Each structure stands twice: as C-alpha cells, then as structure tokens.
Amino acid sequence: MSRIAPALTPTLAAALVLMCAPARAAWDLNLPPPVTPMAAQILDLHNLILWICVVIFIGVFGVMFYSTFAHRKSRGHRAAQFSHNTRLEILWSVIPAVILVVMAVPSTLTLIEMEDTTRSDLSVKITGYQWFWEYEYMDSGYSFYSRLSTPREQIENRAAKGEHYLLEVDNELVLPVGKKVRFVLTANDVIHAWWVPKLGIKKDAIPGYVSEMWAVIEKEGVYRGQCAELCGKDHGFMPIVVRAVPAAEFEAWLGERAASAANITETVTLDPGATVSDVDPTVTVGG
C-alpha cells in the first residue's frame, strides 16, 4: 500500500479537481461588490489590512530566505554571537506596536460607524426561526414569513438545479434604495445569523436578546444571503433575499401589502370559518 499511495496521490488529486468543477465555476477572487457605503468601507478596510499583511509577509520571508541562502554554512558563514541587543529589542517592539495602531484606527472608526443605528428612516424587525425568517416593518406593523422556495425535486436531485438554488424565497424582504434601514434582530428558538454579503451586514439573531444593524442600499437589485449560524438540520435551507427598489415603489408596495393584511384580519374576524390561507397564504395576520 505504501508503494501504491504516492502514485495514487496525483491521480486522486486530479479526480478531485475535476469533480469540483461546478464549485470552481462560482469561484471569485474578491469579496462580492458592495452596494452600501458601509460595505464599501469594510471592503476598503479589508484591502488595507490585507496589503499591510502582504508587505509584512514579503519583508519577513524575504529577510528569512535571503539570510538562510546568503549566510549558509556551506559558504563558510559564521553565525554572529550576540544576544540582548537593546536597540534591536526596542525596534522590534516599537515597529509592530506602530503597525497595530495604524490598523486599529480605521478598524475602530469603521466599527463605531457600523454600530450607529441612529437617524434611521425605517425599522425592520427580523426574527429567526427553525428554519425561516420573519420580517416586520415596525412603523406599519406589517409582517410576513420568508421561506425557502427551491422545489423539493431540486434538493433531492430529481430535477436540474435552478440558477438561485437554495438562495430563493417565497417572500422577499423589500427595502427602499437610499434610505437608512435599521434592522432589529432576534430569534425565536435557537441562535441564527442574518447575513447578506453585498450589504456588508451579518449579525447573530439571539433568542431573548435584541441586536441592531443598519444599511443604506445605494443600488436597486436583488441581494441574497443565508443564515450564518449553525441552527439545526435545515440551517442551509433558510436563505435571505432582499429586493431593493426605489423609495416610491417601496411605499406603494408596503401600503398595498399592509392594507391587504388588514383586510384579511377583518375577513377572519367577520367569518370565523375562514382561515388566513383561504385569503392569501403568504400574508400573516396582525403584527
């Protein structure tokens, strides 16, 4: 076996590379393009820290490789025999400290801004459940559930997988472009996490605890995300879809949906035999 193993390794590696072709098709080098100023700032911060790390990496490994090559024993190099060089010790304490401060300043400023949910235009309460999300527009009280809409056949490999496989929902969270949206986040059972990469927001939804985050979406579009906290067997089946539309369109949509929800409440109250699903299965009552 030990003699066969080395020969098998490249074959196995090649087979693995070929097998994961679909994964490589979705392979991107950079983070997803940001659509909020905050996400752009986070990306800039990431790039700054990355380049600082690259410079340090090249510097440290450059000196190390140069030293081992140029000062090798076969060349007759003799090691210097000094220890406790005060100047050197001060230098290698001060330089890293300065680098850390240079990294800490923009990081802290970004963090402070990320946590500033004041002066928001509207608030949306997000509640995580096993395994779907509930969204409530807190100003109007209108709320609905948002569940995975990928057909069962695709999940069980009985049908070809769609473009947004496991990243599609029945009811999207509609939000206005150019408005500061404050999200109030909690969970009803276990810890979930609401994460939409292009919006640059990700936070744990914790039962019995309310956390906040915010976003100003600058571009119209559909932004997809997922639960990012292992929350049980269907953790991978509770995606997030945000649709950003112009403010006027959002107001019209919300007005219409809130009115129809109020209507349902009335219908159900008037006719005790009627159920919510008789009227509109996508809308929840009250809120």
Say if CB 59 and CB 221 are below 8 A apart. Answer: no
Separation of alpha carbons 229 and 12, rounded Å:
33
CB-wise, 125 or 192, nearer to Cu ion? 192
Smallest distance from Cu ion to CB 175, Å: 21
* Beta carbon of residue 154, minimum distance to Cu ion (angstroms, whole number): 20
Size of the site for Cu ion (CB under 5 A): 3
Smallest separation (angstroms) from Cu ion to the CB of 224: 15
Q: Residue 210 Cβ, how far from Cu ion at the closest point, in Å? A: 17
Please identify, using beta-carbon distances, which residue of 215 and 227 lies nearer to Cu ion.
227
Q: Minimum Å distance from CB 184 to Cu ion?
A: 17
Instruction: Please calculate the CA angle 159-164-166 and round it to the nearest 5 degrees.
Output: 75
Specify the residue, 137 or 194, whose C-beta has the smaller distance to Cu ion.
194
List, as own/partner pairs, every contact residues 205-209 make where C-beta atoms lie below 8 angstroms and the sequence separation is at least 24, other chains included: 205/126, 205/127, 205/128, 205/229
Nearer to Cu ion (CB atom), residue 136 or residue 229: 229
Beta carbon of residue 166, minimum distance to Cu ion (angstroms, whole number): 13
Site for Cu ion in 177-196 (CB under 5 A): 192
CA distance 200 to 111: 12
Q: Which residues contact 201 (CB under 8 A, 6 or more apart)?
A: 36, 38, 39, 183, 194, 195, 213, 214, 215
Whether residue 180 contacts residue 248, with contact meaning beta carbons closer than 8 Å, is answered with no
Of 181 and 231, nearer to Cu ion (C-beta) is 231
Q: Does 227 bind Cu ion (CB under 5 A)?
A: yes
| Binding status of residue 231 toward Cu ion by CB under 5 A | yes
Binding to Cu ion (CB under 5 A) within 24-43 occurs at none
Give 150 or 265: the residue with its C-beta nearer to Cu ion.
150
Nearer to Cu ion, 62 or 232 (CB): 232
Cα 176 from chain centre = 20
Contact segment (CB under 5 A) with Cu ion among 85-93, 153-161, 169-177, 231-239 equals 231-239
Residue 254 touches Cu ion, criterion: CB under 5 A: no
Burial profile 134-146: b = 16 or more Cβ within 10 angstroms, e = fewer: bbbbeebebbbbb
Q: What tokens does 93 get? A: 């304490």
Q: Tell me the C-alpha distance between 282 and 160, whole Å.
A: 26
In whole angstroms, the minimum distance from the beta carbon of 86 to Cu ion comes to: 55
Q: Which neighbouring-strand residues pair with 225?
A: 240
Binding site for Cu ion (CB under 5 A): 192, 227, 231
